[in-house]
Structure 1
Amino acid sequence: MAEPADFVSLSLSLSLPADFRRDDFMAFHRRDAQELSERVTALSLSKGLLWRGAPACLSMDFAADAVRVELDADVSPQAGDAAALTSMARRMLGLAQPVADFECAHRGHPQLAGLIAARPGLRVPQTTTPFEALVWAVTGQQISVHAAISLRRRLMQLVGNRHSGGLLCHPSPQQVAELEPDQLGQAGFSRAKTRTLLELSRQTVDGGLPLQGWLDDGAPEEIAARLLAMPGIGPWTVSYALLRGYGWLDGSLHGDVAVRRGLQRLLGRAEAVSPRETEQWLQGFAPWRALVGAHLWAMQTAAGY
């Protein structure tokens, strides 16, 4: 009898809706020009990630109406891998996001109609795990996207998860929890962000924050309340993490500078729009406030934030 394989190799195909915006999805994953963790062409994405704790490479190859998804992981196969890969790929692509309902509800709006017409089918690409989304949200607090990308890169280099194909993989909660504060500080993280990342990671490892479990049965309001109780995590961080990690389209991103800049442009205002004004304006679009925020992002860059 042949010896069992010591790696996972899976492939599957997913149909794409006619309005799927492939270029937007690619732009999101192309943000780090050094391509240490993601490599992007016009029609393909290769991304390093951890699969059951082992380095893996996820590949997506796009055709006009479908995407071929492949996973190569440095770990033995396990029952349920195919279903887990399908679920993760669909989340990353935003295929479950009910954007058609949003567009139907607001395509006649005097201000949103133009945004929707310019980018029909706009979905929000999601991270591979909620933990990755939270780490990115904490990393990006009050700094530019360029600076956040640099910090993200340094974190992955610090931990050093590398798939056999060469791509770096985002660290696990356990790996971040085991870092010393000085290590994160030397990588460029502030003391406040260091404390938040370590506490977030430790609570995830201990089960106090069941981030993966919430993918199946977590209520956004419960998740938000639990996260807001942690030091260093405020409303913007929660709304962003819920959007990128769970696909929740109703977080209010009124604290986001790029959202406010987009709203200023949309309204034709000479003066800046305040967070309070942005919050009040977005409130009229519940339960789609974060998706409206994504449209405001897209006015400035296809990559989003």
Structure 2
Amino acid sequence: MTPTGHLDTDACYRAVRSRDRRFDGVFYTAVRTTGIYCRPSCPARTPAAGNVSFHPTAASAHAAGYRACKRCLPDATPGSPEWDVAADVAGRAMRLIADGLVDREGVEGLARRIGYTPRHLGRLLTQQLGAAPLALARARRAQSARALIEATDLPLTDVAFAAGFASVRQFNETMREIYAASPSELRGRRTGAPSAGAVTMRLPVRTPFAGRRLLDFLAFHLVPGVEVAGPGWYARTLALPHGAGTVRLGLGDLAEGGTGFVTAEFHLDDLRDTAAASERVRRLLDADCDPRAVDEHLGADPLLGALVRATPGLRVPGQVDGDETAIRTVIGQQVSVSGARTVAGRVVAEHGTAVSTTVPGLTHLFPGAATLATLDPVTLPMPRARGRALVGLAAALADGRVLLDRGPDRDDVRRALLELPGIGPWTADYVAMRALGHPDVFLPTDLGVRRVLADLGGSADPVAWRPWRSYALMHLWNTLMPDSASPTPTEEN
């Protein structure tokens, strides 16, 4: 398959004919004779090749006049893995649009984050994704609205504004146009019981999905007050554009079978944050990863093959807040994970924002960069040099010299990080992997990696692991990650 925006018609049709679920979310199939668009794995009868066209985004299909298939719900798919692999302008824009940036700051705000003029960005996205920024944002609002309609008992007027629509009329017209049904009709078709006092969503992920090992990683690194975990679940607080929130995730292994779902229960101060909350949690889950592509490539390596076969679908844990991830990385420099948790917990207790939640143990939001930038490094519970590095990083994040929202180019972000005192290659690359979703990061100086490679024997060739070196790194670390917490090797900066 060629990159998003340059679809190979023959390859797309072969995927549709074989109902290949790997391509759900990578492209969409529009059928001229029915006026609908589907995911590649739609169980309906395969249309003739002459009757179909292919679109890189759902918004592109909408713009061409097609409505969503009621049988396969093509918008309920993971996003394209190309957005993180290539991390080009189109991919970075899609990440920000999914987070609701266009609703909050308009196309001008999106263009400013990407570094283009609004006109040039519009031309580029239309060329690459088949739709302009406003159309892409409209498709995202429709998907959020459908999820709220089906998952909650919210009045439909509240759903409209929570999803980001400017008016109820716009909401009704969009839903009829995309789904060929009114909001009331969509609510009447839902299955299962709606939530009470919460927004419960099923977040799509590609399978296989090693949810238990993801849970082990998150539980081992959790910060007291901000995160808690238990058997089969993980929860944390969320600092969102319009207020605070919490999420509780059910995490278990999902066998290979196309698209799977992770159940997420959100409690939000402001329902306008529904889209941002779900998108940020999907980043945490690495939901758009193509695990079959990763496993096939790394599984053929003589050194990694056995590790990959033992844990198919291993993910690179992402983040819900890039600034938080970077600050926690600096806190963890040259100390054990358990030591970093203790120090981070003290920083949260002293400088985080207290919140009231329904989840025992969740008491604070992680302190923002603007708050930490004002601190005297001497007062922080860490060596003075690391305290200066943390405050300097926080100042750079607060004033926009470093942006970790996936808008800027990754190489530019790395250079900006390395210019800061106390930030070395290990820290910059770890932040790129976790905060920016970079799939091709390797940390050769990491003591844990060195230990595992020595234990495995043989000759490691990280270059051969491209473009999935971040996943190779996780497989190596996974051998050091027991089901129950225990000390891990000190990390080098």
TM-score of Structure 1 vs Structure 2, range by shorter chain: 0.7 to 0.9
Q: How does 1:92-241 map to 2 (within 5 A)?
A: 92-165=284-357, 166-184=362-380, 188-212=381-405, 215=406, 217-241=407-431
Q: 1:48 aligns with which of 219, 232, 237?
A: 237
Secondary structure in structure 2 of the residue aligned to 1:233: coil
Contact 2:295–2:308, Cα closer than 8 Å, also in 1: yes
Matching of residue 267 in structure 1 with residue 457 in structure 2: yes
- The count of corresponding residues between Structure 1 and Structure 2 is 282
Partner of 1:71: 266
Matching of residue 286 in structure 1 with residue 462 in structure 2: no
Q: After superposing the two structures, state which structure 1 stretch, 227-236 or 23-32, moved more.
A: 23-32
Q: 1:243 aligns with which of 433, 446, 457?
A: 433
Question: 1:234-263: per-residue Cα shift (whole Å, max 9, x none)?
Answer: 110011111111221212211111111111
Q: Report the alpha carbon displacement of residue 29 of structure 1 after superposing the two structures with TM.
A: 2.4
- Rounded to whole Å, the distance in 2 between the matches of 1:284 and 1:241 is 22
Question: 1:140-167: per-residue Cα shift (whole Å, max 9, x none)?
Answer: 1111111111111111111132220242
Q: After superposing the two structures, state which structure 1 stretch, 192-201 or 95-104, moved more.
A: 95-104
- Rounded to whole Å, the distance in 2 between the matches of 1:267 and 1:152 is 35
Q: After superposing the two structures, state which structure 1 stretch, 149-158 or 81-90, moved more.
A: 81-90
Contact 2:284–2:319, Cα closer than 8 Å, also in 1: yes
Q: Report the alpha carbon displacement of residue 220 of structure 1 after superposing the two structures with TM.
A: 1.9
- Rounded to whole Å, the distance in 2 between the matches of 1:48 and 1:36 is 8
Matching of residue 58 in structure 1 with residue 247 in structure 2: yes
Secondary structure in structure 1 of the residue aligned to 2:435: helix
Q: Report the alpha carbon displacement of residue 35 of structure 1 after superposing the two structures with TM.
A: 4.6
Q: Report the alpha carbon displacement of residue 114 of structure 1 after superposing the two structures with TM.
A: 0.8
Structure 1: state its 5+ residue gaps: 269-276
Q: Report the alpha carbon displacement of residue 134 of structure 1 after superposing the two structures with TM.
A: 0.8
- Relative to structure 1, the CA distance from residue 159 to residue 119 in structure 2 (aligned partners, 3 Å threshold; closer, same or farther) is same
Contact 2:332–2:340, Cα closer than 8 Å, also in 1: yes
User: What is the TM-score normalised by the length of structure 2?
Assistant: 0.53
Contact 1:181–1:195, Cα closer than 8 Å, also in 2: yes
- Rounded to whole Å, the distance in 1 between the matches of 2:267 and 2:425 is 37
- Rounded to whole Å, the distance in 1 between the matches of 2:271 and 2:469 is 40
Question: 1:168-187: per-residue Cα shift (whole Å, max 9, x none)?
Answer: 22111112112222321xxx
Structure 2: state its 5+ residue gaps: 1-154, 163-196, 255-259
Contact 1:57–1:163, Cα closer than 8 Å, also in 2: no
Q: Quick one: percent identity of the two aligned structures?
A: 27
- Rounded to whole Å, the distance in 1 between the matches of 2:464 and 2:297 is 12
Aligned AA (1:150): T
Q: CA RMSD in A?
A: 2.7
Partner of 1:274: none
Partner of 1:11: 200
Question: 1:19-78: per-residue Cα shift (whole Å, max 9, x none)?
Answer: 21121121122126885322212232221232237442222235764222232234x443
Partner of 2:479: 299
Secondary structure in structure 1 of the residue aligned to 2:346: helix
Partner of 2:283: 91
- Relative to structure 1, the CA distance from residue 181 to residue 149 in structure 2 (aligned partners, 3 Å threshold; closer, same or farther) is same
Contact 2:429–2:441, Cα closer than 8 Å, also in 1: yes
Question: 1:70-96: per-residue Cα shift (whole Å, max 9, x none)?
Answer: 32234x443xx2221221121010112
- Rounded to whole Å, the distance in 2 between the matches of 1:178 and 1:53 is 23
Secondary structure in structure 2 of the residue aligned to 1:30: helix
Q: Report the alpha carbon displacement of residue 298 of structure 1 after superposing the two structures with TM.
A: 0.4
- Relative to structure 1, the CA distance from residue 198 to residue 248 in structure 2 (aligned partners, 3 Å threshold; closer, same or farther) is same
Of structures 1 and 2, the one scoring higher in RCO (CA 8 A, sep 6+) is: 1
Q: After superposing the two structures, state which structure 1 stretch, 157-166 or 200-209, moved more.
A: 157-166
Aligned AA (2:385): A
- Relative to structure 1, the CA distance from residue 33 to residue 237 in structure 2 (aligned partners, 3 Å threshold; closer, same or farther) is closer
User: What is the TM-score normalised by the length of structure 1?
Assistant: 0.83
Q: After superposing the two structures, state which structure 1 stretch, 294-303 or 117-126, moved more.
A: 294-303
Secondary structure in structure 2 of the residue aligned to 1:39: strand
- Rounded to whole Å, the distance in 2 between the matches of 1:283 and 1:302 is 28
Matching of residue 24 in structure 1 with residue 213 in structure 2: yes
Aligned AA (2:413): I
Secondary structure in structure 1 of the residue aligned to 2:249: strand
Aligned AA (1:58): V
Greater radius of gyration (CA): 2
Aligned AA (1:67): V
Contact 2:221–2:337, Cα closer than 8 Å, also in 1: no
- Rounded to whole Å, the distance in 2 between the matches of 1:44 and 1:191 is 36
